Amino acid sequence: MNITKVTAVYYSAVGSTKAVTEKIAGLIAEKLGVPADSYDYTLPESRTETQHYGPSELVVFGTSVYAGRVPNKLLPAVQNCFKADGALAVPVVTFGNRNFDNGLIELRNELENNGFHTIAGAGIACRHVFSEKLAPGRPDEADWNAIENFALSVAEKVMTLTEIPAPVSVRGDDPVGPYYTPLGTDGKPAVFLKAKPLTKAELCDKCGICVEACPMGSIDAADPSLVSGICIKCQACVKKCPTGAKYFDDPAFLSHVAMLEQNYTRRAEPEFFL
């Protein structure tokens, strides 16, 4: 199949999904001898128009998994902002060492609904944004080697494709099941939907980095301690604040993080589907 361009498209609040998606797209492009491009739909202004991909393009489409699925507040963008006229696609999800559950199969289905032909997929364990104890240092060298082998296999598949294949088979339930319910250390659902980041006033110099980083555009520019819109707990503001002024103290949220640390420190391996 003649592919003339490879594009990494991704949502990535803290940068793990960006790194993985761009790596895969770059390696495929190199092997095919075609240019690589990127489209980052993390911020609200990148989700106002629809991107179109033609039949000679390949898109490596990445998202992190939230609650075992495509992040629900980003789903409308996945559904409406990326349309294809027969472009090939490689759905890629990153997850924080618990499980990607139905995230990959949901992304595959959405891409197929949007006119893409999915030819491969991957679920990549990355450091969990909630805790340094969950998959620290991931992806590590072994992950990157596996990711490189996967990208080269995808490129080889593209070169030998003579007709459009069936949608790639990936792990997950079809139809896609419900969102994962976060639990606390007591084993009961931990309800922290309304939790928002707090700000240590003595550390915040109102630089505005958190305002720019928020994927929901929810942080007040004049007073960054005010979160007027929705918070999806992505941790972009916490991770990107240069003075460490942002934090969460919601008890249910902290209990969920503690539960993850108690149960999900074993190594989750990346999974590849071709």
Ligand X SMILES: Cc1cc2nc3c(=O)[nH]c(=O)nc-3n(C[C@H](O)[C@H](O)[C@H](O)COP(=O)(O)O)c2cc1C
CB of 107 to ligand X, least distance (A): 13
x-or-dash pattern for ligand X, window 12-51, by CB under 6 A? xxxxxx----------------------------------
| 8 contacts ligand X (rule: CB under 6 A) | no
| 128 contacts ligand X (rule: CB under 6 A) | yes
For ligand X, which is the closer residue by CB, 3 or 176? 176
For ligand X, which is the closer residue by CB, 55 or 144? 144
Count other Cβ atoms within 10 Å, centred on residue 269: 11
For ligand X, which is the closer residue by CB, 65 or 214? 65
* Span near ligand X by CB under 6 A; candidates 28-36, 60-68, 211-219, 240-248: 60-68
* Span near ligand X by CB under 6 A; candidates 26-34, 46-54, 123-131, 169-177: 123-131
Q: Which long-range contacts (CB under 8 A, 24 or more apart) does 256-261 make?
A: 256/130, 256/182, 256/183, 256/184, 256/190, 256/192, 257/130, 257/131, 258/184, 258/185, 259/182, 259/183, 259/184, 259/185, 259/190, 260/96, 260/98, 260/128, 260/130, 260/131, 260/134, 261/131, 261/133, 261/134
For ligand X, which is the closer residue by CB, 31 or 240? 240
Instruction: Take residue 39 and report the two structure tokens written for it.
Output: 């489209």
Measured CA to CA, the distance from residue 121 to residue 128 in angstroms comes to: 20
For 173, residues 6+ apart whose C-beta sits below 8 A from its C-beta are 102, 105
| 118 contacts ligand X (rule: CB under 6 A) | no
Triad 107, 109, 110: Cα angle to 5°: 65
| 68 contacts ligand X (rule: CB under 6 A) | yes
CB of 105 to ligand X, least distance (A): 14
**227 to 266, contacts with ligand X by CB under 6 A?**
232-235
CB of 92 to ligand X, least distance (A): 11
**73 to 112, contacts with ligand X by CB under 6 A?**
94-99
Q: How far is CA 192 from CA 209, 233, 239, 249, 263, in A?
A: 24, 9, 19, 11, 19
Contacting residues toward ligand X, per CB under 6 A:
12-17, 64-68, 94-99, 126, 128-129, 180, 232-235
